[in-house]
Chain A
Amino acid sequence: MTSIFRALVRKDLRLFFSDRRSVIMAFVAPIVIASFFGYIFGGNGGQTEASRVAVLAVDQDASVTSREIVANMTADKALAVQPAGLEEARAAVRKGKAIVAFVIPAAFGADAGRALFDAVSKPVIGLLYDPSHAAEMGMVQGMLSGHVMEAVSKEMFTGQTDRQAVKDSLAQIEQSAMAPADKKSLETMLRGIDGWNARRDSGAASGNATAPQGLTIPFQVHSEAITSGIGVQYNGYAHSFGGMGIQFILFVGIDVGMGLLAMRQSGVWQRLRAAPLSRGTLLGSRAVSAAMTSMLVLMVLFAFARVVFGCRIEGSMVGFLCICAAFSLMTAAFGLLIAALGKTPEATRGLSILVTLLMVMLGGAWVPTFIFPQWLQKLTIAIPTRWAMDGLDAMTWRGLGFSSAIGPIAVLVGFTLVFGVLAVMRFRWEADS
């Protein structure tokens, strides 16, 4: 770098850091917004308080069975269950304070036990839910089914109240119009349970605390998020800091373009053009200072995410740095392109913000691209931010190696060259007098 080049770069950096608005926009805004997004979208692994589904339990039965259901639901880590009255629950769901309320009707315990063997009169559990949270409602319904099944069958087979249900069921079978052979088999089974209960009461069958307590769901789920490796959890902050970094760095690029357009209308441009320096020095120094600023912003953002939220570069550090550098260069070229294609700052600002936000959105910085429909996922391959985002994800929480960085780096450098060449070709060198 010549001393002229250095002087110009230093000037740009001084101007950037002396403008409080641009500094806040570049550093503070992305940190705040990325922290928010990261927190909303799952944070750093483990279940956080914020992601528990608010559920209200309306227990009109207050039987052993219903209390057991409520207790089991309450113990579930995915739910935040509060007891409530029926009207109270209705009002809370309407206001959005709770997502689902379940209502266990009076005499549910006794009725449910009988209904196990009699399809005629099943007691009804009411679900009140917020229609904007249909997914959560499905989840709560599923969990409720499990817990009801468990509690009811347990009482049926081992509890006090439902022993009566076994005897009642036997009486019902006598009077029903079942085929004699079916009647006999069912009777045998129920008498077996009755006998089992009698033996337990006499203490003969106990002695084993882990004996089956009732029907349970016959499997468990072990879920493992596939990230960089065993014990490393998905970190929503890594994605959100990458995404917001990309967005706000592109804003830095817009500012570069706006600054150049504004400068063309001021005497500064005439002064710079009157001095014996090349066009390459003039635009190149601006690009370098913009890239340096962008790089610094990315480093500060990821340092913040590392210290505060524990986001690590699980993959290749070299790959991460190269992607950051390539994206910074691309941003600088993007800024020059804006300056080359725009006429006045006022006329150009709106459009370039729109283009930037589209690139950011389609690049997956707001919501990850994997939830896009297939055709859109294919289409967004043409967008540089998509590559930057995928590259940063790969180097941070996915924990991939340098080879996964090569594609994004190459594409970003390619866009840099295209933008840069277009900018230099289309730049209007004559001052607007």
Chain B
Amino acid sequence: MLEVDSIRKTYGNIVAADGVSFRAGAGETVGLLGPNGAGKTTMVSIVAGLLRPDSGQVLIGGRPLGGDTDPAKRNIGLVPQNIGLYGQLSARENLALFGALYGLGGAQRKRAIDDALRLVGLSDRGKDAVKTFSGGMMRRLNLAAALLHDPQMLLLDEPTVGVDPQSRNAIFDNLETLKKRGKTLLYTTHYMEEAERLCDRLVIIDRGKVVADDTLSGLHRLMPVTNLLIVDLDNARDGFPAAELRSLPEVQSVEIRDKELKIGLRDLSSESPRVLQWLVDRGWKFQHVSSERASLETVFLTLTGRSLRD
């Protein structure tokens, strides 16, 4: 359905995409995962035909987009990261406009609007101005506006940003419904839990480069770390010799944020005493130690040396 091949895009001397390639098969849900500024929106915009890459190409259904008016654009539904709705217009007026842009009219458009509103649970708010909506409702309508023309593929750019857990669950239910209907989803996020819950495959990008592209189970196999040892240091991180700690044979990863030190270890029982002793020997004091089972989040950490939320 979607083939992205060696895309490169620069803004001045910022390289937003540096040879990005990945695919999404029909009916597949692919997560595009990366921290802020990784180049996710840039990739979504290129796939949707909004940005022209410096090099590389995007094929949709085996063919590149021809231009502004290419009818193949009907196969794509874009859910932009910034809410793309007119606040002064009602929900229905917004949907009517976006339906009209894809040539929908009359009864057909009315049916599409009713269906989309029902899917996102906003049927009773259709006549209200969008500016009176809560953040979560706007996000849901933002999704509905991409569904009117019933596209085969949905490009979702952080569709749950800034919403409470309830609205997020509602949006997830909507996306799972769409998945069941056989849509191809390209889902952009920097939340690993979201990607784990929804996606068949994950493409992890960092600083414009793909650092991993695998199925969930494949990524789980990549996880080198089974456990995290978390140490709350008494003194601040300044001058903490993270590189030195990382060079110990048993240490898989080191992450330090404020006074919280996260150390990736394979075997807590045998390895943690030695690591703690190493800290004590170097004069680092701590009052509280805990541990955590490793998650996919640590995959990103081990691949890039950085946390997703940085």
Show the binding face of A for B, using Cβ within 8 Å.
Answer: 3-4, 7-8, 11, 14-15, 18-19, 265-279, 430-431, 433
B82 interface neighbour in A15, A265, A273, A430, Cβ under 8 Å: A265
User: With A and B bound together, what is the CA distance between A228 and B42 in angstroms?
Assistant: 63
Question: Are B101 and A267 closer than 8 Å at their CB atoms?
Answer: no
Contacts of B145 in A (CB 8 A): 271
Question: Are B83 and A276 closer than 8 Å at their CB atoms?
Answer: no
User: With A and B bound together, what is the CA distance between A274 and B49 in angstroms?
Assistant: 7
Q: Is B135 an interface residue (CB 8 A)?
A: no
Question: Are B85 and A267 closer than 8 Å at their CB atoms?
Answer: yes
Question: Are A274 and B68 closer than 8 Å at their CB atoms?
Answer: no
Q: Is B168 an interface residue (CB 8 A)?
A: no
Question: Are B68 and A270 closer than 8 Å at their CB atoms?
Answer: no
Question: Are B80 and A3 closer than 8 Å at their CB atoms?
Answer: no
Q: Which 10 A-B pairs have the closest CB atoms?
A: A267-B84, A267-B80, A7-B100, A275-B101, A267-B82, A271-B84, A274-B78, A276-B73, A270-B80, A18-B88
User: With A and B bound together, what is the CA distance between A15 and B93 in angstroms?
Assistant: 11
Q: How distant is B101 from chain A, measured CB to nearest CB, in Å? A: 4
Question: Are A266 and B97 closer than 8 Å at their CB atoms?
Answer: no
Q: Is B268 an interface residue (CB 8 A)?
A: no
Residues of chain B from 130 to 161 with CB closer than 8 A to chain A in the complex: 142, 145-146
Question: Are B142 and A267 closer than 8 Å at their CB atoms?
Answer: yes
User: With A and B bound together, what is the CA distance between A266 and B50 in angstroms?
Assistant: 14
Question: Are A266 and B41 closer than 8 Å at their CB atoms?
Answer: no
Q: How distant is A25 from chain B, measured CB to nearest CB, in Å? A: 16
User: With A and B bound together, what is the CA distance between A271 and B41 in angstroms?
Assistant: 13
Q: Is B307 an interface residue (CB 8 A)?
A: no
Question: Are A270 and B84 closer than 8 Å at their CB atoms?
Answer: yes
User: With A and B bound together, what is the CA distance between A268 and B80 in angstroms?
Assistant: 8
Chain B 62-106: CB-based contact to A (< 8 A → 1; otherwise 0): 000000111101101010111111101100010011101111010
User: With A and B bound together, what is the CA distance between A433 and B9 in angstroms?
Assistant: 13
Q: Is B211 an interface residue (CB 8 A)?
A: no
Query: Closest residue to B98 on the A side, CB-wise?
Result: A271
A274 interface neighbour in B71, B76, B93, B142, Cβ under 8 Å: B76
Q: Is B210 an interface residue (CB 8 A)?
A: no
Q: How distant is B85 from chain A, measured CB to nearest CB, in Å? A: 7
Taking A271-B84, A274-B76, A276-B70 as known contacts, 5 extra A-B pairs with beta carbons closer than 8 A to each other, sorted by chain A number, are A15-B89, A18-B88, A274-B50, A278-B69, A433-B81
Q: Is B45 an interface residue (CB 8 A)?
A: yes
20 A-B residue pairs with Cβ-Cβ distance under 8 Å, sorted by A, are A4-B100, A7-B96, A7-B97, A7-B101, A14-B89, A266-B83, A268-B84, A268-B85, A268-B86, A269-B84, A270-B50, A270-B78, A271-B78, A271-B80, A271-B98, A274-B48, A274-B50, A277-B101, A278-B69, A433-B42
Q: Is B51 an interface residue (CB 8 A)?
A: yes
Residues of chain B from 114 to 134 with CB closer than 8 A to chain A in the complex: none
Query: Closest residue to A270 on the B side, CB-wise?
Result: B80
Contacts of A4 in B (CB 8 A): 100-101, 103
Query: Closest residue to A265 on the B side, CB-wise?
Result: B82
User: With A and B bound together, what is the CA distance between A401 and B100 in angstroms?
Assistant: 44
Q: How distant is A200 from chain B, measured CB to nearest CB, in Å? A: 86
A267 interface neighbour in B49, B81, B93, B96, Cβ under 8 Å: B81
Most chain A beta-carbon neighbours within 10 Å: one of B68, B71, B105, B146: B68
Question: Are A273 and B50 closer than 8 Å at their CB atoms?
Answer: yes
Residues of chain B from 46 to 62 with CB closer than 8 A to chain A in the complex: 48-52
Contacts of A265 in B (CB 8 A): 82
Contacts of A18 in B (CB 8 A): 88-89
Q: How distant is B10 from chain A, measured CB to nearest CB, in Å? A: 12
Contacts of A19 in B (CB 8 A): 88
User: With A and B bound together, what is the CA distance between A273 and B78 in angstroms?
Assistant: 10
Question: Are A272 and B88 closer than 8 Å at their CB atoms?
Answer: no
Query: Closest residue to A433 on the B side, CB-wise?
Result: B41
Contacts of B48 in A (CB 8 A): 270, 273-274
Question: Are A3 and B50 closer than 8 Å at their CB atoms?
Answer: no
Contacts of B88 in A (CB 8 A): 14-15, 18-19
Contacts of B83 in A (CB 8 A): 266-267
Q: How distant is B7 from chain A, measured CB to nearest CB, in Å? A: 14
Given contacts A11-B89, A265-B82, A267-B82, contact A430 B73 (CB under 8 A): no
Contacts of A266 in B (CB 8 A): 82-84
Contacts of B69 in A (CB 8 A): 276-278
User: With A and B bound together, what is the CA distance between A11 and B93 in angstroms?
Assistant: 8
Question: Are A3 and B100 closer than 8 Å at their CB atoms?
Answer: yes
User: With A and B bound together, what is the CA distance between A118 and B48 in angstroms?
Assistant: 101
Question: Are A3 and B105 closer than 8 Å at their CB atoms?
Answer: yes
Question: Are A430 and B51 closer than 8 Å at their CB atoms?
Answer: yes
